[in-house]
Structure 1
């Protein structure tokens, strides 16, 4: 048998992860999609939250060609890194996302998350303060919390939050990204560490599965979806998407007013 190149090993590992998601997470993906579709149909919003590298699927969910109005990415620059060790650094982020109290009092309490909404929380590990407290806050508000994480990681990881809870203990629906705890998947001869991470691809794949299923459900119900379309598609220019940005801003403002009245 011919030995695989490292990139072939990586693609094989990724393919195995995606197949596991397809075969083992179908029920959870369909359940989550139904909840999300019902939320959007009833005038609610599907919010998405992550910190560190888990912000990447949040950014990819919306605004994105092929996505549609009804999603709201919750991104805090202090929970993202913009340089390895300079300003807005990765070490600084690691300190903040583990600090209890920050994510709610410093960020989420000012966001338009209301009763009946959906809050998707991304976290490979599911034990840091940021995802745990985001999920607790979502439940307190009355939102349905969906967690996308590594269940294998949750099985072995010990809680670090003062509540003694992990993200999977809090969420209403858990979707396993089917990625091993170490995230990296390509072994190196003579070393115990592996290289080439896999959780971002898995999380984005799950996200696009949810976008596809949710959008299909809404379309079948007759919902007039406001879909972001690439200007490369005939008949759709930049101005088409600008109008969707305007609709998004209007949606957020109206939702915030509704929450304040409740």
Structure 2
């Protein structure tokens, strides 16, 4: 007898298929926008709060990832040393704007903002302020989660984006058990998959153009340290978070 596959893997695979269907064209558009920016010597400013910071980690100083990436964030939204504070700060007005003001993005830079619900002031302000500075925004968010979330702002993250990657995360994030979900959050799985698809599309586009965008190499393979040393020298003054040469934003807010 062949044992049936567990229900959770089936639901995750269905969500991945949903993401492919919903974000197909946007994947290529995002790849094109990012490659245009990097080729013009721009910086990709990446933001998120709470558990969306997992996606910021996924984009920054990552093997195979773009080197021209700067994380912009307020320490107050980091949940590992004060989880309750991180929720409070994400909902407070003015913090997102201050983070962008400190980073001062400008064309040809691009911003990528991760937020599953896209309804809290912090990610919305980051996107709104970047757009106001002429910096196009790629929003990685879920329309379904946004519609089902408490509205804490007059607009959503998607409202300020040039490109929206819909991750298809359900309201509440969790998917198990199917009849009454209470565990097994999927936002990080879907967000990481969406970002990997963007990087793959960017690589294909770069190959077609004959371009070679700056990308990190794993430090655990031969020659990796040498490749990365050159990139560190190239970007350390524009991405101070690479070497700890400067703060990324305001001090933590209580």
Answer with 225-234 or 23-32: which moved more.
225-234
Q: Are residue 187 (structure 1) and residue 177 (structure 2) matched? A: yes
1:147 & 1:26 partners in 2: Cα distance? 14
1:150 & 1:224 partners in 2: Cα distance? 31
Q: Are residue 199 (structure 1) and residue 184 (structure 2) matched? A: no
How many pairs were matched up?
240
| Root mean square deviation, CA, Å | 2.2
3-state DSSP of counterpart to 1:25: helix
Using structure 1 for the length normalisation, give the TM-score: 0.83
Aligned to 1:224: 212
Runs of 4 or more consecutive aligned structure 1 residues displaced over 6 Å after TM superposition: none
Instruction: Structure 2 unaligned segments of length 5 or more: list them.
Output: 241-254
The within-5 A match list for 1:130-145 is 130-145=122-137
The within-5 A match list for 1:205-244 is 205-234=193-222, 236-244=223-231
2:168 & 2:129 partners in 1: Cα distance? 26
1:63 & 1:81 partners in 2: Cα distance? 20
Q: Give the superposition deviation at 1:142.
A: 0.6
Q: Give the superposition deviation at 1:2.
A: 8.0
Q: Are residue 146 (structure 1) and residue 146 (structure 2) matched? A: no
CA contact (8 A) 1:50 1:123 kept: yes
Aligned to 1:98: 91
Q: Are residue 22 (structure 1) and residue 20 (structure 2) matched? A: yes
CA contact (8 A) 1:41 1:218 kept: no
CA contact (8 A) 1:219 1:225 kept: no
